[in-house]
């Protein structure tokens, strides 16, 4: 089904429709947000299949909890927050596991695929909060204030995480 | 201005105020260390941005479970009773019929001893299962309806604003009319005053003898 001709419909209008009984309209929100949310989760988790499962779980939670959404104009920030919570529940299960730190990549000319792999590996070497701050800022263009709400942290903390994340990435990627 | 430190991220992501941005640029023009830091951050930023988004391995589609049609078997009750009577007459055995919770139980031979276990109708699922869709989602209908409701909202808004504008214009017109009337009145007063002044001047300037 083509979405050509569909203007960027206000999320709010779709949320209103869903809450007024047109449950199928939720699929429009899914179509608009599944790729960004999937990529957000994938860059946090590092595994495609697991990211897909968590993405699905996030949308299911969003559907069930939609009546609790206080500000219908901030659906996307609320959805990111749900995805954040879903990921962190999963990440907490990894506490105690040992991760082998990969050697820093050398900077010599990389193809775009190699670059992509290098970036993915480098992101996985960051602590979760720094990784999340970098991902939300660089790949999702969120403001510091929005990231602070998603992470449940002060803006100054988010900026520190981003700064330290970038410093570490700079040392890994060159 | 001191070195940028963590403020480099605010600068790289354009989240400084215009004043702070100007100050930072002035500092960078003079400070090679901070310039180098900014360049390194921008380089890392570019490398990250060059890593594209990937497509999810599969689509997520919500299919809302519909209420199953409730089939009422109550109309069969009289037929069932009639059939039971016929059979009982043939068998010459006592028949026991029990109604409970819209369920009819017919017992032959001995009365019903055990409580009826009513079979609960299957619960209407209030939850949504994420299942592979058996039929395609009618996105066209959803899009049409959303666009129609947006259009209706826009038309309504335009009408509201038109009527507000008309009321505003009318108010301005009546204000102006009032002001024009005031100005015309003042002009008349000024003109009359002018005539009086002219008359006084004539009287004052006429020779003294003419008065007597």
Q: Are A160 and B30 in contact (CB under 8 A)?
A: no
Backbone angles phi, psi at B108, to 5 degrees: -110, 140
Rounded average pLDDT over B21-30: 92
List, in order, residues 6 or more apart from A51 with CB less than 8 Å away: A38, A41, A42, A44, A45
- Residue A140 has which token pair? 């999702």
pLDDT value of residue A56: 96
> Does the pLDDT at position B128 exceed 50?
no
Mind listing the pLDDT tens digit for each residue in A111-121?
A: 677 888 889 99
Mean pLDDT across the stretch B40-65?
A: 89
Between CA A53 and CA A37 the distance in angstroms is: 12
- Is there a contact between B50 and A60 if contact means CB atoms under 8 Å apart? no
Rounded to the nearest angstrom, the minimum Cα separation between A151 and chain B is 18
Nearest by CB to residue A115, choosing from B40, B50, B147, is: B50
Furthest CA-CA distance within chain B: 154
Q: What is the pLDDT confidence band of residue B109, given thresholds at 50, 70 and 90?
A: low
E strand intervals along chain B: 95-100, 103-108
Average pLDDT score over chain A:
86
CA–CA distance from A142 to each of A31, A77, A132, A135, A159 (Å)?
20, 9, 11, 9, 12
A153 touches chain B (CB under 8 A): no
What is the Cα–Cα distance from A102 to A98, expressed in whole angstroms? 12
Give the pLDDT confidence of B134-171 residue by residue, as tens digits. Answer: 567 788 888 888 888 888 888 888 888 888 888 888 88
User: What average pLDDT score do residues A60-88 get?
Assistant: 94
Are A55 and B146 inside 8 Å of each other by CB? no
Complex prediction ipTM = 0.81
Considering just the CA atoms, what is the radius of gyration of chain A in Å?
18
Comparison of pLDDT for A113 and A14, the residue scoring more: A14
B65 contacts chain A (CB < 8 A): no
Contacts of A76 (CB under 8 A, 6+ apart): A11, A33
Q: Check A163 against B58: CB less than 8 A apart.
A: no
């Amino acid at each position: 089904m083509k979405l050509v001709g569909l203007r960027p419909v206000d999320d709010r209008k779709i949320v209103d429709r869903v809450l007024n009984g047109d449950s199928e309209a939720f699929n429009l929100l899914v179509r608009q947000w599944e790729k960004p949310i999937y990529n957000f989760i994938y860059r946090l988790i590092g595994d495609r299949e697991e990211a897909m499962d968590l993405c699905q779980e996030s949308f299911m939670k969003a559907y069930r909890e939609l009546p609790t959404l206080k500000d219908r104009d901030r659906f996307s920030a609320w959805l990111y927050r749900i995805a954040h919570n879903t990921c962190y529940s999963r990440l907490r299960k990894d506490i105690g596991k040992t991760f082998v730190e990969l050697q820093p990549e050398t900077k010599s000319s990389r193809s775009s695929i190699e670059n992509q792999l290098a970036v993915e590996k480098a992101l996985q070497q960051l602590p979760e909060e720094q990784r999340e701050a970098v991902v939300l800022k660089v790949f999702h263009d969120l403001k510091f204030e929005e990231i602070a709400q998603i992470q449940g942290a002060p803006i100054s903390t988010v900026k520190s995480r981003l700064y330290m994340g970038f410093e570490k990435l700079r040392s890994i990627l060159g | 201005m001191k070195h940028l430190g963590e403020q480099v991220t605010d600068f790289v992501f354009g989240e400084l105020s215009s004043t702070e941005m100007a100050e930072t640029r002035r500092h960078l023009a003079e400070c090679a260390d901070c310039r180098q830091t900014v360049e390194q951050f921008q380089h890392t930023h570019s490398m990250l941005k060059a890593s594209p988004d990937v497509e999810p391995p599969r689509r997520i589609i919500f299919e809302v479970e519909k209420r199953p049609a409730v089939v009422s078997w109550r109309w069969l009750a009289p037929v069932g009773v009639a059939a039971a009577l016929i059979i009982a007459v043939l068998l010459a055995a006592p028949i026991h019929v029990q109604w409970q919770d819209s369920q009819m139980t017919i017992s032959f031979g001995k009365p019903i001893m055990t409580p009826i276990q009513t079979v609960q109708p299957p619960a209407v699922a209030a939850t949504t299962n994420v299942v592979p869709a058996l039929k395609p989602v009618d996105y066209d209908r959803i899009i049409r309806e959303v666009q129609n409701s947006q259009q209706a909202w826009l038309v309504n808004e335009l009408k509201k604003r038109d009527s507000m504008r008309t009321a505003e214009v009318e108010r301005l017109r009546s204000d102006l009319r009032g002001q024009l009337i005031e100005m015309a009145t003042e002009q008349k007063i000024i003109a009359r005053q002018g005539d009086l002044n002219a008359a006084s001047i004539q009287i004052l300037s006429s020779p003294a003898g003419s008065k007597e």
